[in-house]
Amino acid sequence: MEEALLSFSQNTGIYSIMGSRWGWPIIESLHFFGLCLLIGTVGLFDLRMLGFVKAIPVSAMHRLVPVGVAGYFLNVITGTMFFTSAPDQYLYNPAFQTKLVFMAGAGINMLFFYSACFKTVKNLGANQQVSQSVKIIAGISLLCWLGVISAGRLITFYRPPAYWCFWCG
């Protein structure tokens, strides 16, 4: 697994970018930029659904979400660059594993929102409220993204040897 990820990084040239003098911090900065785009759009949309700033039409607020999706894809790309360039620092890292759990939570929650709830939300205007169940979904979304950020920030704090991860076997 480690070898496969590392050879992907080496064969695609990612490894030499990440290994260059300022490669790692530059890609990290882009990752943080993507994060702020996501929170500034999807995060604020979640807050609006939760009842903050009701004067903003829900439908209008949602028009910022595509920018957040762009931030998300920026972070999938930059995140893959970190992960494949030092797989041993991620695979056994409890902070990274926790981050993946929160990402999966956010993803499943998002799929459920767009498949089951979005039609009741997309035309709501100013001072209109989403239903209680949609509020719960918005809250789960926000908590998952906060979890992704917190756990993600801790990845570099824990630079674990493989045996740290007791559930990795």
Question: Is 69 an interacting residue with respect to other proteins (CB under 8 A)?
Answer: no
What track of x and - describes contact with other proteins for positions 13 through 52 (by CB under 8 A)? Answer: ---------x-xxx-xx--xx-xxxxxxx-xx--x----x
Say if residues 90 and 155 touch (Cβ distance below 8 Å).
yes
Say if residues 38 and 68 touch (Cβ distance below 8 Å).
yes
3-state secondary structure of 148: helix
Question: Is 128 an interacting residue with respect to other proteins (CB under 8 A)?
Answer: no
DSSP 155: T
Site for other proteins in 73-112 (CB under 8 A): none
Question: Is 142 an interacting residue with respect to other proteins (CB under 8 A)?
Answer: no
Query: Is the Cα torsion angle 96, 98, 100, 102 positive or negative in sign?
Result: negative
Question: Is 141 an interacting residue with respect to other proteins (CB under 8 A)?
Answer: no
Say if residues 65 and 119 touch (Cβ distance below 8 Å).
no
Report, in this order, helix, strand and coil percent for the chain, each rounded to 5: 75, 0, 25
**Nearest CB to other proteins, comparing residues 47 and 117:** 47
Q: How far is the CB of 99 from other proteins (least distance, A)?
A: 12
Q: At what angle are helices 23-38 and 132-154 packed, to 10 degrees?
A: 170
Question: Is 8 an interacting residue with respect to other proteins (CB under 8 A)?
Answer: no
With contacts defined by CB under 8 A, name the span among 5-13, 74-82, 108-116, 150-158 that binds other proteins. Answer: 150-158
* Integer angstrom CA distances of residue 149 from 48, 95, 142, 145: 20, 10, 11, 6
Q: Which of residues 17, 18, 50, 64 is near other proteins by CB under 8 A? A: 64
- Alpha-carbon span 84 to 19, nearest angstrom: 12
Q: Which of residues 63, 73, 123, 128 is near other proteins by CB under 8 A? A: 63
Binding site for other proteins (CB under 8 A): 22, 24-26, 28-29, 32-33, 35-41, 43-44, 47, 52-53, 55-57, 59-61, 63-64, 67, 146, 149-150, 152-154, 157
